[in-house]
A and B are shown apart, each in its own frame.
Chain A
């Protein structure tokens, strides 16, 4: 399966702390994207990193990609209660997206 797998499955931190989530995938990718899903809502695109990039920043988000280890990480700095959500990585291979099961992040005020 090409499905990405997020780790950990659940993460609980205090407001202001950093949150790191990891994603592993099994095959070659064109790019890798991260999405956020708030409870009861659809997924929202956060950031895309191409297979030839190693690191990318967007506001408080930092994504890294290690194609040799087939892994990516999402770092959220200075977390806020509003960051409480599920986070998914999705790999693009061919013309399909495959999603992992997600990491449930809880940021406690």
Chain B
């Protein structure tokens, strides 16, 4: 049981380059989300999806795109990398979205450490 798999684990980009961070889960979870973690800032929500074909913006969506064509995959695209996007990115999933009637824990991947020069 792989859980949530993120690739790559590390990446160095130059300013202006684009790339896609991959996230896949094998638990048939409907809800998936992307966070970035910066020192002293906690985790901030970038984008999330409540099911295939449905995505929405989180707290810090600028500079990032997402799509959800399958239940299993939720890639995060950096359109034109900027040094401010240097961070550790985490993907998480759960059976149902967080909310009043949901007690589902979030399952996290181990992160992608991204440096932009």
Identify the A interface with B (CB < 8 A): 3, 30-31, 33, 35, 40-45, 48, 50, 88, 92, 94-102
Q: In whole angstroms, how far apart are the Cα atoms of A44 and B41 in the complex?
A: 18
> Could you tell me how many residues of chain B have their Cβ less than 8 Å away from some Cβ of chain A?
28
Hey, which chain B residues are within 8 Å of A97, CB to CB? 33, 45, 98, 106
Instruction: Count A-B pairs with CB separation below 8 Å.
Output: 62
Q: In whole angstroms, how far apart are the Cα atoms of A44 and B110 in the complex?
A: 10
Hey, which chain A residues are within 8 Å of B107, CB to CB? 45
Does B40 sit within 8 A of A, measured CB to CB? Answer: yes
Hey, which chain A residues are within 8 Å of B41, CB to CB? 101
The smallest beta-carbon distance between B113 and chain A, in angstroms, is 9
Contact B111 A42 (CB under 8 A): yes
Hey, which chain A residues are within 8 Å of B90, CB to CB? 42-43
Q: In whole angstroms, how far apart are the Cα atoms of A82 and B42 in the complex?
A: 22
Partner of B42, one of A50, A94, A99: A99
Hey, which chain A residues are within 8 Å of B103, CB to CB? 31, 48, 50
